Amino acid sequence: MRQVTQWADPAPSRWSYRYQRLMLTPLFRKVLKIGVPFCLSLGLGLYYLSDEVRRENLVLAVADIRQQIETRPEFMVNLLAVEGASMSVEEDIREIFPFDLPASSFDLELDEIRSLIADLPAVADASVRIRQGGVLVAEITERQPVALWRTRDGLGVVDIDGVVIGEAAERAAHPDLPVVVGEGADMAVAEALNILEAAAPLKAKLRGLVRVGARRWDLVLDRDQRILLPEKNPVAALERVIVLSSVQDMLERDLVAVDMRLAARPTLRMNQRAVEDWWRVTNMTVGTDDQ
């Protein structure tokens, strides 16, 4: 009797067929390769962090690692160096410096430090950087004093922009600086310096400048004399007075003021004694004519 050989059916089973079809789908492959491991990892992580003790230990471990990195010698700042500043300004900078050294460079807020230094009245500009070797360098550009501004509160030292950068105990402390007086004088320091430069021939007589009405200047001389300058073109008006004085010795006479506020009509104001003398001479002349 002939024996019949049984061959295995090569066709896949129903579940095998469905699995192979799913594996041909790109989205299913991504979910299987990425989504499932991610979900498993997330679940394990949440389970581990669900315990408060384990969470605290993890936070402390991270903080300890961070501290070990930040406090390495190459990241430490040990010294503050101030460049371009006078002794008094350097002392002010060190006084307001908000950090205790040595400190980690990660803890230093350079923008905050620069802003604090730049806010000092005597500082025009500042830059801050960390130099190799653990040195914090503050490069300073100071405001330069150009005049003394006298107010009710005393004498203030101002720069070309009118910023008060310090106080002067007395006039003799800054003999090389001119004095300006009056409301708004600090806002017109540049103009005042131009006037004083033009008044160089009157330097021996000069006492200072007074701002009047926050809009124009009076040049104050010795013997209580004043030159009243106009609001516009005060330098040109002053130069006219200097020329007249050099030709006719005008300022050597008994004058109280030279009013140049109206350029087309300069006015001379005599003192009381000169007026009395003028009237006496005038009366004598009139009396002589009558005779």
- Contact by Cβ (8 Å): 241, 258: yes
Q: Which residue has the tokens 């371009």?
A: 84
Give the helix/strand (H/E) hosting 181: strand 179-181
Q: For the domain made up of 73-142, give the CATH fold.
A: Ubiquitin-like (UB roll) (3.10.20)
Domain 147-277 has CATH 3.40.50.11690: yes
Residues found in the chain? 291
- Residue of 195, 200, 240, 202 whose CA lies nearest to 223: 202
Domain boundaries, the chain: 73-142, 147-277
Do residues 138 and 98 lie in contact, with contact meaning Cβ atoms separated by under 8 Å? no
Task: Estimate the crossing angle of helix 36-49 against helix 52-70, to 10 degrees.
Answer: 100
* Matching fold, domains 73-142 and 147-277: no
Q: What is the pLDDT along the chain (291 residues), one digit of tens a residue?
A: 555 555 655 666 777 778 788 778 888 888 888 888 889 888 888 888 888 888 888 888 887 887 777 778 778 888 999 998 888 899 999 999 988 888 888 888 889 999 999 999 889 999 999 888 889 999 999 999 999 998 888 888 999 988 888 888 888 888 888 889 988 898 899 999 999 999 999 888 888 899 998 899 999 988 888 999 999 999 999 998 888 888 777 787 778 888 998 877 888 887 666 555 545 555 555 445 555
DSSP 31: I
Indicate the pTM of the whole model. 0.63
DSSP 226-288: EEE--SS-HHHHHHHHHHHHHHH-GGGSSEEEEE-SSTTS-EEEE-HHHHHHHHHHHHHHHHH
Task: State the pairing for strand pair 267-270/79-83.
Answer: unpaired
Residue (of 202, 220, 201) closest to 212 by Cα position:
220
